[in-house]
Structure 1
């Protein structure tokens, strides 16, 4: 399977690189770093408003892996005292189909390639023996190449294509709490856009298990949403579902 081969290759490459990176960064003792590779297999909803009505497609969580052609998801963070830098990149390539009610069409086929990249500058506003809280500000860039094929029914078939990209400012908050020496939890929320024609937000909750001082396993839930006006028509994209990942700290 393409996805499994891709993720396996990425994981091997990351695991090979990280020990070498540790030695390279050791001289910068004021900084600490963390790199994460994660798998996000969500339910996906995408829609585009047109002059002839809204066209939409939905990929259920149970079908996500089967319909996923290619994916890469990863984050990188750097921390120095109260300051931190966080980057998050997500790439997915999906194809799926849906039935449509009534007989106007016989179904909708959806093919979409999406990328989004979020960058933040964070500042720690609270710190205790067990809990850390950071506020952050930054941006989120989103790019989509989405194609809807409306299959003919009582009405003729048609195609709707959406190719666009944009960048929104975002603000966010992250909280981390240690439950014991091994287990901790992380919560992250951000919101951006701040205009009538562009809005984005996400929430991420994870339970984190420390294998050792370097490696951390994460299991949680993520929801992310985009609502943007393209050429006067509303485009919406959202994903929600479980997240599993591995973090290397150096």
Structure 2
């Protein structure tokens, strides 16, 4: 019933969020990249791990009771079927682009003495039941922007774009009615898009060590009421093309529409490996 991803810690953990549960960027840019002689183009890809905990309120299907959720990373990993996180970052002269994708699949099982009736259920309903909730979440953040500051060892980019969310829940209920086991399932999914604005700061500390900070905010009642994210990492250059990053990331959203509630915050340490072209 519960499965752990054998490939989780490699790509994700190659849990969610989220999420999340965009998650955005573990860019590692060498201090030399801000020199006058740098190439016009720069491109890098970063698969990363995110040991995130989850806190918030959700409803597994439309107009279901809102359920408070608070889980550590260990709890989420126990429920994890698969998870993956990857980031792409590119620059052309002073124009920058980032794309971040997050996908998680989890199964959460509980026994309840009193549960809401599933949509479409007919006939007697069990007074107590076992409930499995399979949740799949995809979140992608796409932003573009312009480098407004470029001095030796330090850059600042202003960004704007979209965060795309898709959440799919399959609820399975089974229990005894008049000493007979009955079961049913119901699946719902919902999606929305949030506009986001943000900034990215990079500062070289030594020839190999650097600091990166990126944050954004959005939603503005276009999709969610609000969504926000912040990421801070220290980055170390291993070779001409390979770098590693360690830091901390937060991703939050408050979405309430048409009976669906998805109000969550994912937060925890991140570890990434970047390949630069």
TM-score tier by shorter-chain length is: 0.7 to 0.9
For residues 163 and 52 of structure 1, the distance between their equivalents in structure 2, rounded to whole angstroms, comes to: 13
Higher relative contact order (CA 8 A, sep 6+): 2
For residues 184 and 64 of structure 1, the distance between their equivalents in structure 2, rounded to whole angstroms, comes to: 31
Deviation of 1:202 (Å) = 0.6
1:58 paired with 2:70, answer yes
For residues 173 and 151 of structure 1, the distance between their equivalents in structure 2, rounded to whole angstroms, comes to: 48
Asked if structure 2 preserves the Cα contact closer than 8 Å seen for 1:3 and 1:71, the reply is no
Q: Which stretches in structure 2 are left out of the alignment for 5+ residues?
A: 15-38, 116-128, 176-183
Aligned to 1:15: none
1:22-101 matched pairs, under 5 angstroms: 30-45=40-55, 46-48=57-59, 53-97=65-109
Residues 219-249 of structure 1 deviation map (CA, whole Å, 9 limit, x = unaligned): 1111111211231443223211111110011
1:128 paired with 2:131, answer no
1:171-250 matched pairs, under 5 angstroms: 171-195=197-221, 198=224, 199-250=226-277
Asked if structure 1 preserves the Cα contact closer than 8 Å seen for 2:194 and 2:223, the reply is no
Deviation of 1:213 (Å) = 2.1
Asked if structure 1 preserves the Cα contact closer than 8 Å seen for 2:8 and 2:83, the reply is no
Q: 1:203 to 1:50 in 2, by over 3 A?
A: same
Candidates 7, 10, 19, aligned match of 1:7? 10
TM-score normalised by length of structure 1: 0.77
Deviation of 1:62 (Å) = 2.4
For residues 203 and 132 of structure 2, the distance between their equivalents in structure 1, rounded to whole angstroms, comes to: 43
SS at 2:156 equivalent: strand
Deviation of 1:98 (Å) = 6.6
Residues 200-231 of structure 1 deviation map (CA, whole Å, 9 limit, x = unaligned): 11111111111022111011111111211231
- 108-117 or 204-213: which moved more? 108-117
Higher share of residues assigned strand:
1
Q: 1:188 to 1:162 in 2, by over 3 A?
A: farther
Q: Which stretches in structure 1 are left out of the alignment for 5+ residues?
A: 12-28, 153-157
Aligned to 1:16: none
For residues 241 and 6 of structure 1, the distance between their equivalents in structure 2, rounded to whole angstroms, comes to: 15
SS at 1:64 equivalent: helix
For residues 244 and 132 of structure 1, the distance between their equivalents in structure 2, rounded to whole angstroms, comes to: 22
Deviation of 1:112 (Å) = 1.3
Deviation of 1:110 (Å) = 4.0
SS at 1:2 equivalent: coil
- What RMSD, in angstroms, separates the aligned Cα atoms of the two structures? 3.1
Kindly tell me the number of residue pairs found equivalent between the two proteins.
226
SS at 1:63 equivalent: helix
For residues 108 and 191 of structure 2, the distance between their equivalents in structure 1, rounded to whole angstroms, comes to: 22
Aligned to 2:125: none
For residues 131 and 231 of structure 2, the distance between their equivalents in structure 1, rounded to whole angstroms, comes to: 31
TM-score normalised by length of structure 2: 0.71
